Structure formats: structure tokens, C-alpha cells
Amino acid sequence: MKKHIFNAGPCKLPRIVLENTSKAILDLEKCGLSIMEVSHRSKEFQAVIDEAMDLFKELLNIPDNYSVLFLGGGASTQFCMIPYNLLNKKAAYINTGAWSTKAIKEAKLFGEVDVIASSEDKGFTYVPKEYNIPADADYLHITSNNTIKGTELKYDIDCNIPLIADMSSDIMSRPVDVSKYDIIYGGCQKNIGPAGVTFVVIKDGILGKVDRAIPTMLNYETHIKKGSMFNTPPCSAIFTVKETLKWIKSLGGVKEMEKRAIEKSDMIYNAIDNSKMFVGTVAKEDRSRMNICFVLKDEYKEKEADFLKFTAERNIVGIKGHRSVGGFRASNYNACEMEDVEALVKAMKDFEVKYA
Amino acid sequence: MKKHIFNAGPCKLPRIVLENTSKAILDLEKCGLSIMEVSHRSKEFQAVIDEAMDLFKELLNIPDNYSVLFLGGGASTQFCMIPYNLLNKKAAYINTGAWSTKAIKEAKLFGEVDVIASSEDKGFTYVPKEYNIPADADYLHITSNNTIKGTELKYDIDCNIPLIADMSSDIMSRPVDVSKYDIIYGGCQKNIGPAGVTFVVIKDGILGKVDRAIPTMLNYETHIKKGSMFNTPPCSAIFTVKETLKWIKSLGGVKEMEKRAIEKSDMIYNAIDNSKMFVGTVAKEDRSRMNICFVLKDEYKEKEADFLKFTAERNIVGIKGHRSVGGFRASNYNACEMEDVEALVKAMKDFEVKYA
């Protein structure tokens, strides 16, 4: 029976993407070689990575003065690459949770870090909106979605200094005004593909302004110059990203993804808000469309394991909350379908009939 | 018609490995989720990475005081991670070609580099054997196989200081005395899997001896402590590595891989040595079993494109030499079959009948 997958990433991917990847593992475009066997210098693979980059640019309406990179090492490697390449004296960070905290930790190795706002005072359950951006900072770094706690900055902020955003969990889930950012980056394993490949959207002319020597693989210039092919890229993962972007385009692009994300997340949040047993954990205006976090009310707390068992019996997978939060988290990325959401909402209601 | 794949990496993989990967992309071990959909924190994926690590240790007979890591970023990222973690004052490097040269370049960012031997004087067509290892160097770095020029150090050298080897192209193609090394690393995309994952075999207790602050993702300690799961690993690529290692084991392990590598490479080298038209480019005792480089003799030089066309018509793929060398290169990794080699050798002989 079909599983309803709410994993936080790696996560559900569109069936057609899995099928096309599965076929390409046996034979890429009838060339007689697997996507894992073709040389990264072959015309076959060049076509794959070119299409992935072109689709990325098209779907996000990226201006011409930006490059799109596909790298290894995960968004976690970007946490140090960003200050390595861009932090001269001081950088500003907004701390909205575990991932921001990790990014801040790395930046501190390279210079002064001004944490201009933080929602740590309330357990990262909201997005700070009051802060002053220091004009003398080299950049402001934000994490647009907090995957663990379930908050999301659902619009592009104005910023008087270069803006850098970790969009690991919300990339391609809404239109973005890319021109407001110097760098947008993230792991692909949520909205646009499998684990093992990291995207970086980077504006021309922002490099070369720090004095330190940068190791070749950590220098964005290396990858921009070589079109992400300085070294052997994660070829097969890039193929799957390309297929996922094709699928997004076929459905109507990021505007349609946003519409669906709103519909699906509203449905779950409505179920939470109308529930006797469940309660949301995040300030309503900052609720993430991607990661919907909720817990049982105090009087029902002991039913947590029961709800996980109840949902598992209905083939609902991946709704256990992050170990640092507890409770439940339903991740509603692009590939999550309305029927998955309906199954979850029905399970919540049925559980309530049984136990409330 | 079946292709005879001699790509230098990414390269031919065993058919059963491709088939099992293709199936796991649709459904991992009948769990109802793709290998690309399961959480890296799930018991399903933990079983995959555990098996891959265990097989790696078993096949190379790795002593208990070593860890095996599976990381992103390619061997090229290791070029800077090694000095970042281990270079205090001075490191010794042997320069056997393009990859060693790149490793040396990165090390120079972190301290003094003593290139104790180099085969650059003869275009990297041999492996230097005369050198003094400085007792005061933090480590000696070698590249055991030169993928581009086709030389190979086919045995484990004695070394009075910590020894580090890039074995990207020859890992699991022969038994290795791992106890002689502090680190063995490489990309998996030649002998043991697809592009997108890097293996690191690292001895306990060798870290923590440099003063510099190391970014979290570049610190081996991070990945050792977390069993390669500090961040989301390249899950699907690790699955394919696991399947490739299973396949190696099923055939008799690295001893059998070595026997086959010798048989197959001998067959091609014999064809070269007995040819009127072709000639090898490397000192005979240093010829690589993995990358067999050869050119047309001067009087036949203009036939290069003809030979590529001649072999392409016989479904022979990937024998064009590296752009920096020209001529031909047949890469003979573990998955390369005797029938592939026979097809190539027959093509060489038939071409000679036609043109010599």
C-alpha cells in the first residue's frame, strides 16, 4: 500500500522523477550507458547539467548576472564557504534556529559576527522582525525556513547590505525576487531532489573582496569558472534535480507550488486549530508551509506514542517531531500530495474521535 | 548493442549494481519508499551505511583502530582537508602528476611543503623511487595511481612518518596493508561506485595536533564522531557503493580484483607491445593496471581520429586520452570485463591489419 511520506528531508519525491531516475540508472536517454557510467565530460552529461541549470534559472526567474552551481558537501559546507569568501571584518546574522546557529558558529572563525536578531528567547517559535542592519557589515545572513521548529519567512526582505539566504527547505516553493539576494543556497534534498547535491545561486562580481587565501574547492570562483565541473560533480543526483525541476515546470512552476503549499499547509493548520487534542507550536503569522509542527495538549501528552502508532497503521511516515522538539512534524514539500495531507488530517480527526 | 565502457571515471559499474540501484530508486528493500525518500536518520538508511562501512573494512582487512567515512565534496576537497587537519609545520609530498600537483597546491596554503620527489622531468611517465623522507615532516602524501598519465604504485611503501594516500583510482583493486597508512582516501566513482561520494579511511588518534581552528565540515573529527552523519550524507550514492562492495565480495574480494586487473591489463599491454602501430607511454615497471595509456607511433599519428571512429563503431566507449596527453586511455577498473578488453584488443589488431 502506498505510503504517505512526510519526511523532513530526504523526503518524498514525485513518482515520475523516481521512475525516470530509475530508468536513467539503467540507460541514460538510450545512450547505452547508465547516468552513473557516463563521463562528466561527455556531451550526454553536459546536456543534463545544462538543462538543470537552465530550468533552475527559468523557474526562479534568475537575472542574467547570477550563476547557478551544483556542488557537493551539503548546505553545512556553505556555512563556512560563505564567510571564507565574503567575510572581511564583520557579518550580520539573524538567528532563527539550529541551522542559523550552526551558520553563525562557522562565521565566527572568520571575523566578527553581529547577531542582530534572534528568536531564541521563545525557543525559535517565531521570526524576528525588529532589527537594525549594520551598514558596515559585509553581508546579512538569514535562514528563510526553520525545518526543525517550523517557522518560515515567506517573503523577501529589504536589505541595505548584501543579503544571503539559506533556502534549503523552501527553495522553489514560492516565487523569489532573486535580485534582492547576493547568494541563495541550500541542500536539494527537500523540494528539488535527492541528498548529495547543494545548489548555490550567486551574483556576479561579489567575490575577490577578502584578503585570505581560499582553498580551491571552497572558493566559489573555482566553481563559477568551471560551470560546477572543476571536479567530478554528483552526476546522478544532478540528473534527479533536473527531473524534479522539469516536473515543477510541467505543473506550472513555483507559483503553482506556492498555491499548493498554501492549500496543503492550511488544511493541516486548520485541523490543528480546530482540534481538541492538538496544538501548534509556532506563532501563527510565522508558520512554515513546509514544516508543520504540532504537539498534543498537556492533558493528552501521554498519547504521543499512540498517535504515531495510529498514523503508522495508515501508512503515514515521518511525522515524528525532531528529537529536540518532540511532538509531530509534517513536512509538506513540493512532492507532498493533497491525498497525503488528507490522509493525515483524517487520521488526526479519527484519533480525536477515539481518544478526546 | 552492449557498450564496452573504458571511461576514466565515472565509469562502468557492474550490471547487477545498476539493477539493484534502479530498483532501490523505486522501492528500497520493499519498505515502500525510495532510497532517495528515506530519512538518513531512519533504520533503513542506517542499515545501508552500516553495511557499506562493514564491507569496506572487511574487504580491505582494515584494523580496528581505523574509521571509514563517506563524505561529499570529492577527493579534491580532501586535498585541503588533509593539511587543514594535519599540517602543523611541514608536509612531504611526492609529485606523480596532475592530482598530486593539485594536492600540493592546497597544502601550501597551510604550511611548508617539501616535494621530496617528482616525475615531472619525464612528463610524469614513471613513479619516483629514490627519495629521503624528512623525519620532521608531519606526513608524507602520495597519489598511488596517476589516472591521467597511467602510472601506478602497485605496492605499499615503507614510511617512517605518517603516510597518506590518494587511492581514488586503485582502491579495492588490490589488497592493501592499511596499517602502513594514517589516511587512505579517494572518490568512489572508479572502482567502487558512482560520483558524489568520497571515502576516507582514517586512523584513530591522529587528529587534534594542529592549533588552527578548523571549520566543522572540514574537521575529520566531526564526521568520525557522527559516523558520517553529521549532516545529510549522499544517501543514494552510498547505497550504490554498498552494492558494488557486495559485488566485489561475491567474486572473491580484492585478491580476485587484483588477479583480474592483472589479466586484463596484461592483455592490453601485450597488444600494445606487440603492435606495429601503437606504443605505450609509461615506464614498463610503473604501468597502471587501472589506466592504460598508449599512442600511435609517429608514422601513424594522423590515424588517431580514425582509430577512435573504428572503435566507436564497435561500441567501444571512453578510450580517448586525457586532453593533456592525447592518444588513448583504456580505464580498466573493477567492473571492466574480459569481454570489453577482448573487444578492444581485437579492434587494435583489426585496425593494424587495415592500416599498418
Q: What is the pLDDT of residues B75-95, one digit of tens each?
A: 999 999 999 999 999 999 999
Grid coordinates belonging to B163 = 603516510
Q: Do A215 and B33 touch (CB under 8 A)?
A: no
Pick from A264, A267, A269, A304: which is nearest to A284 by CA? A269
Is A106 within 8 Å of B249 (Cβ atoms)?
Answer: no
Cα gap B73→A167, rounded to integer Å: 20
User: What residues of B are in contact with residue A18 (Cβ under 8 Å)?
Assistant: 25-26, 34, 36-37
Selecting from 3.20.20.30, 3.30.1300.10, 3.40.640.10, 3.90.700.10, what CATH number does the domain A15-251 have? 3.40.640.10
Instruction: Note whether A187 contacts B: Cβ–Cβ < 8 A.
Output: yes
Tell whether omega for the bond before A10 is within 30 degrees of 0, i.e. cis: yes
| DSSP letters spanning B276-343 | SSEEE-S-GGGB-SSEEEEEE-GGGGGGHHHHHHHHHTTTEES-BPPTTT-SEEEE--TT--HHHHHH
Whether residue B356 has pLDDT greater than 90: no
Distance (Å, whole) CA B146 – CA B131: 19
Distance of alpha carbon B85 from alpha carbon B210, whole angstroms: 7
Average pLDDT over every residue of A14-36: 97
The CATH class of the A253-355 domain is alpha beta
pLDDT band of B179, cuts 50, 70, 90: very high
Find all residues with CB under 8 Å of A197, minimum gap 6, and list them. Answer: A70, A71, A72, A187, A188, A233, A234, A237, A238, A241, B196, B234
pLDDT, average across residues B7-12: 97
- What is the spatial distance between Cα A186 and Cα A198, in angstroms, rounded to a whole number? 6
Average pLDDT across chain A, whole number = 97
Distance, in Å, from the CA atom of B143 to the CA atom of B183, rounded to the nearest integer, reads 12
- Residue B328: partners with Cβ closer than 8 Å, 6 or more residues away: B278, B293, B294, B295, B307, B308, B319, B320, B321
Report residue A42 CA to chain centroid gap: 30
d(CA B166, CA B164): 7
The DSSP bridge pattern shows strands A163-166 and A4-5 to be unpaired
Coil, strand or helix at A82: helix
**Residue A4, H or E segment:** strand A4-5
Residue B19: pLDDT band (50, 70, 90) is very high
Long-range residue pairs from A296-303, CB within 8 A, at least 24 positions apart, any chain: A296/A327, A300/A355, A300/A356, A303/A277, A303/A355
User: Strand A328-331 and strand A291-296: pairing?
Assistant: antiparallel
Please give, rounded to a whole number of angstroms, the shortest distance from the CA of B274 to a CA of chain A: 30
- Looking at chain B, which residue has its C-alpha nearest residue A71? B73
Please say if A298 is a catalytic residue: no
Reported in sequence order, the residue ranges of B167-221 that DSSP labels E, i.e. its strands, are: 183-187, 198-203
Q: Which of B12, B149, B166, B264 is an active site residue?
A: B166
On the question of pLDDT at B324 being above 90, the answer is no
Per residue in A62-71, pLDDT (tens digit) is: 999 999 999 9
Distances (CA, A) of A164 to A141, A156, A181, A190, B145: 5, 11, 6, 19, 41
Average pLDDT (A100-124) is: 98
Q: Is the pLDDT of residue A324 over 80?
A: yes
Mean pLDDT of B255-282: 98
Burial class (CB in 10 A: 0-12, 13-18, 19+), A268: buried
The span from the CA of A110 to the CA of B198, in Å, is 27
Interface test with B, best of A6, A19, A33 (most B CBs within 10 A): A33
DSSP letter (8 states) at residue B164: E
> Which pLDDT value is given to residue A302?
96
Q: What is the per-residue burial (b if ≥16 Cβ within 10 Å, else e) of A197-207?
A: bbbbbbbeebe
Our answer to whether residue A99 is catalytic in this structure is: yes
The domain segmentation of chain B, as residue ranges, is 15-251, 253-355
In angstroms, how far is CA A290 from the centroid of its own chain?
Answer: 9
Q: According to the model, what pLDDT value does residue A310 have? A: 98
Q: Which of A162, A102, A335, A213 is nearest to B108 (CA)?
A: A213
**A197 interface with B at CB cutoff 8 Å:** yes
> Pairing relation of β-strands B151-152 and A316-317?
unpaired
Burial zone of A89 (CB within 10 Å; 0-12 exposed, 13-18 middle, 19+ buried): exposed
Q: Name residue B316's beta-bridge partners.
A: B4
Bridge partners of A295?
A279
The pLDDT value recorded for residue A215 is: 98
- Beta strand pairing call for A112-118 and A151-152: unpaired
CB B156 within 8 A of CB B180: yes
Catalytically annotated residue among B154, B190, B203, B264: B190
Helix axes B235-251, B253-273, angle to 10 degrees: 80
Q: What is the pLDDT of residue B257?
A: 98
Among A12, A149, A190, A203, which one carries the catalytic annotation? A190
Q: Of the listed A99, A154, A242, A340, which one is catalytic? A: A99
Closest CA to A110 of A92, A136, A134, A84: A84
Rounded Cα distance, A335 and A3, in Å: 13
- Candidates A19, A72, A79; nearest CB to B74: A72
Annotate A115-129 with DSSP letters as a single string.
EEEE-GGGTT-S---
The answer on pLDDT for B298 being more than 90 is yes
B187 touches chain A (CB under 8 A): yes
**pLDDT tens per residue, range A142-177:** 999 999 999 999 999 999 999 999 999 999 999 999
> In whole angstroms, what is the distance from residue A299 CA to residue B21 CA?
47
Does the beta carbon of B260 lie under 8 angstroms from any beta carbon of chain A? Answer: no
Nearest chain A CA: its distance from B276 CA (Å): 30
- For the beta sheet containing A183-187, the strands, ordered from the edge strand earlier in sequence to the opposite edge, are A66-71, A198-203, A183-187, A163-166, A140-143, A90-95, A112-118
Least confident of A115-124, A321-330, B266-275: A321-330
Strand partners, B188: none
B25–A22 C-beta distance less than 8 A: yes
Residue A177, Cβ neighbours under 10 Å: how many? 11
A31 alpha carbon, distance to own chain's centre: 33
- A199 falls in which pLDDT band (50, 70, 90)? very high
Q: What is the ipTM of this complex?
A: 0.98
- A22 and B23 within 8 Å at the Cβ level: the answer is yes
What pLDDT was estimated at residue B92? 98
Q: With CB atoms and an 8 Å threshold, state whether B216 touches A32.
A: no
Active site residue A149: no
The predicted pLDDT at position A213 comes to 97
Is A328's pLDDT higher than 80?
yes
C-beta separation of A100 from A117 below 8 A = no
pLDDT score of B1 more than 80: no
**Pairing, β B291-296 against β B328-331:** antiparallel
Whether the pLDDT of residue A325 is over 90: the answer is no
State the Cα–Cα distance between residues B98 and B78, nearest whole angstrom: 15
Q: Where are the alpha helices (DSSP H) in chain A?
A: 15-26, 43-60, 74-86, 98-107, 220-225, 235-251, 253-273, 304-312, 338-355
CB count, 10 Å around CB of B136? 9
